Amino acid sequence: MNIEIDFINLHINNIMKTEREISLLKKVEICILLIAIIAISAPFFVSIPVYSQSKMLTGTELIINGDFENDTVGITSDYHFSRTNLKPEGYWSVLQNPWEVFYQFSNCSDHTTGDGHMMCLNGHYLDGKVAWQQIISDIQQNTTFFFSLWITSVNPNRPPNISIIINNIEVTGSPIQLSEDTCKWYNFTCDWSSGNSTSAIIQIIDNNLAEIGNDFALDDISFMPYCTVNADAGGDITICYGEQLTVGNEATGGYPPYHYEWLQNPGIIGTNEFRATVTNQESGQYIIKVTDESGCIDYDTVNVTVVPEINFELQASVPLPACPCETVVLSGPEGYNYTWSTGETTQEIIANQSGEYSLICSTDEGCSAEDDIYVELSTAEFFVEIEDAEAESGETIEIPLDLFRSISNPRCNFDDLFMRIIYNKTLLLPKLSDEFVVYTEDNMQIIEFTGKFDDLEKSLRFVATLGNSHCTDITIDEFNIGCNEIQLNLDHGRFCSSNICFDPTPRLFDDSGLLFLAQNTPNPASGITNIQFGLIESGATRISLVNLLGEEADQIASSSYEPGMYSVDYDVSSLPPGVYFIVLETPSQVLTRRLDIVK
């Protein structure tokens, strides 16, 4: 329920006579009280906005015979009066129907009741002639008055242009240009401030000097002072939940003594005094009504904003205790100012070490609350060992790979693993499962594994070959489980050939060359593509093309080669598009490269 009582814009436009004015004002006050009663009986703390320092009329009408029901009493005009003839320009009369006096006028009713009287005028052809005037003496200085006038055209030809003049100054909103529509009453209203004046000369002047047409009627002219009593509920205020406050100030203006009434009073103490205590712990609006000795009423409101109770619990972004490398984000509720025990002032912080953290949440109004949380960070440790081994050239060997992990928090899995092992490529020929990726860089063979920790094989299988060195380190070059906060214990292995002839010198490979299979260019290819490769041993060497099913699609080269660098141009235009692999097989090595064929 949201009811607005706008007293600032409450203008009583249809003013007739003193009894009618007083009756209307009483009805307005009764409606206001009924609205307030409905609001108070509605669910607790209904909002009823009321504009502060509102305006009301006193009920004292200062215009004599403004509805013309007393014939010509109180009327002053530069026009000529005639009871029966309004045909000449510059004549006026008080009548019930303009048409009955002059046939060219419209058949109009008065504004007040529809069967009452109005002042009808045939517009003057001379400039500056006052159509209607009244002088009001003994008015209050520095007081605002409300002026109201109802006016209509009674002849559609050349409608008049009307100015409202008070004390020789045209009022705001004047002049009034009437339309050609006759018998349609138009209401003009304005406020006028007396300032230092003690009297008001009110004049109505027609600016249209046309001799044909320019005819109009007046009714219900009103001039009333506004009430000057001012209620003061105090300035809007904000408090923290659980606090009490006092609202309201003594009224000013008008005629003391004053009567006070707080119209909306749940949780308010002292409802018949200008100062009251608010005990309610919800935001709301409170209305004070002030009535002075003359019966003038003013209302004012105060909006009390109660900052809701700050009740929160610190939250961590992950379950605690946290796993290594988990980002522990501590966060408070939205919409506050933040002060952490770490000195940070953001809504969220990162807890990067074990310990207790606290947060104070505060509002711009100074209300605050505090909470704390203990953060524990778990630990983890991995152990990886490659055992030493030796074998004769041509012998197949299984080199043990010992794996172990210690994790204090069972929630922390660390299953995803990337491991890279490097060694001298001339001493060991890998015979590994498809889980491993094998390639060479310079003189080193590289084995990579990407997968789950538990899926890593517990040994590495090789064929020992006659290489360019007696022994090679088998180095764990990288062991990555996605977290640099875990302690790694890596124990590298070593392999040595056991059938080397050392008399007179070790019998090894000539390693002046380089074993490699370069990526073909261009790739993808649709026609001729170039394949370059290097050999470090003599013997039968074969290059073939294999499809994704492992089937040989074509033989690119097959011959006995000496160590050195080679280049082959290969035409793929006769092959179906797809993914293939170039396979280089030497007496002791197998190298592969991917080839994409497009059309």
Q: Transcribe 49-90 into DSSP letters.
A: -B-SS---B-S---STTTT-TTTTTT-B-SSEE-SS---STT
Name the token pair of 278: 């608010």
Cα separation, 216 vs 206, whole angstroms: 9
Name the token pair of 543: 């290059």
Instruction: Tell me which amino acid residue 341 is.
Output: S
Write out pLDDT tens, residues 81-121. Answer: 999 999 999 999 999 999 999 999 999 999 998 899 999 99
Contact 358, 372 (CB under 8 A): yes
Can you give the pLDDT at residue 34?
43
Using DSSP, state whether 567 is helix, strand or coil.
Answer: strand
DSSP state letter for 334: S
Of the candidates 114, 83, 116, which has an alpha carbon nearest to the alpha carbon of residue 100? 83
Contact 244, 277 (CB under 8 A): yes
Of 267 and 148, the one with more pLDDT: 148
Instruction: Tell me which amino acid residue 130 is.
Output: V
Write out pLDDT tens, residues 458-481. Answer: 899 988 877 788 899 999 999 998
The average pLDDT across 403-422 equals 88
- Domains of the chain (ranges plus CATH)? 18-58+229-307 (2.60.40.10), 80-225 (2.60.120.260), 321-375 (no CATH), 380-497 (2.60.40.680), 516-597 (2.60.40.1930)
Can you give the pLDDT at residue 38?
39
Contact 157, 212 (CB under 8 A): yes
Q: How far is CA 228 from CA 13, 144, 174, 202, in A?
A: 20, 9, 26, 22
Write out pLDDT tens, residues 151-190. Answer: 999 999 999 999 999 999 999 999 999 999 999 999 999 9
- 128 exposure class (CB count in 10 Å sphere: 0-12, 13-18, 19+): exposed
Neighbours of 127 (CB within 10 A): 9
Going by pLDDT thresholds of 50, 70 and 90, the confidence category of residue 225 is: confident
Cα separation, 395 vs 497, whole angstroms: 10
Q: Please, which residues have CB within 8 angstroms of residue 275's CB and are 6 or more apart in sequence? A: 246, 247, 248, 249
H helix or E strand, kind and range, residue 590: strand 590-597
* pTM for this predicted structure: 0.42
Going by pLDDT thresholds of 50, 70 and 90, the confidence category of residue 264 is: low
The full 3-state SS of 128-192, as one line of letters, equals CCEEEEEEECCCCCCCEEEEEEEEEECCCCCCCEEEEEECCEECCCCCEECCCCECCCEEEEEEE
H helix or E strand, kind and range, residue 566: strand 564-571
Cα separation, 221 vs 16, whole angstroms: 8
Parallel, antiparallel or unpaired: strands 297-307 and 237-240: parallel
Q: Is the pLDDT of residue 16 over 60?
A: no
Name the token pair of 379: 């630990």
Instruction: Scan for tokens 């506050």, then name that residue.
Output: 336
What are the start-end ranges of the E strands in 211-354? 215-225, 230-232, 237-240, 245-247, 249-252, 259-262, 268-269, 276-278, 284-291, 297-307, 315-316, 329-331, 337-340, 348-350
Instruction: Scan for tokens 């520095």, then name that residue.
Output: 142
Going by pLDDT thresholds of 50, 70 and 90, the confidence category of residue 10 is: very low
Sheet with 186-193: strands ordered across: 80-81, 91-95, 118-122, 215-225, 144-153, 186-193
Bridge partners of residue 299, in order along the sequence: 289
Q: Is the pLDDT of residue 483 over 50?
A: yes
Q: Is the pLDDT of residue 29 over 60?
A: no
Q: Is the pLDDT of residue 502 over 80?
A: no
Cα separation, 221 vs 246, whole angstroms: 45
Q: Is the pLDDT of residue 20 over 60?
A: no
Of the candidates 422, 453, 423, which has an alpha carbon nearest to the alpha carbon of residue 435? 453
Name the token pair of 485: 């906060």
Using DSSP, state whether 318 is helix, strand or coil.
Answer: coil
Can you give the pLDDT at residue 56?
67
Cα separation, 226 vs 144, whole angstroms: 6
Cα separation, 217 vs 119, whole angstroms: 5
Of the candidates 26, 24, 122, which has an alpha carbon nearest to the alpha carbon of residue 78? 122
Q: Is the pLDDT of residue 48 over 80?
A: no
Of the candidates 237, 248, 277, which has an alpha carbon nearest to the alpha carbon of residue 366? 237
- 141 exposure class (CB count in 10 Å sphere: 0-12, 13-18, 19+): exposed
Bridge partners of residue 507, in order along the sequence: none
DSSP state letter for 98: H
Instruction: Scan for tokens 């002053």, then name that residue.
Output: 76
Tell me the helix, strand and coil percentages in the chain, rounded to 5: 5, 45, 50
Of the candidates 366, 367, 310, 374, which has an alpha carbon nearest to the alpha carbon of residue 341? 374
Instruction: Scan for tokens 């909103």, then name that residue.
Output: 173
Q: Is the pLDDT of residue 43 over 50?
A: no
Instruction: Tell me which amino acid residue 235 is.
Output: G
Using DSSP, state whether 309 is helix, strand or coil.
Answer: coil
Contact 297, 57 (CB under 8 A): no
Write out pLDDT tens, residues 331-381. Answer: 999 999 999 999 999 999 999 899 999 999 999 888 999 999 999 999 999
Can you give the pLDDT at residue 17?
33
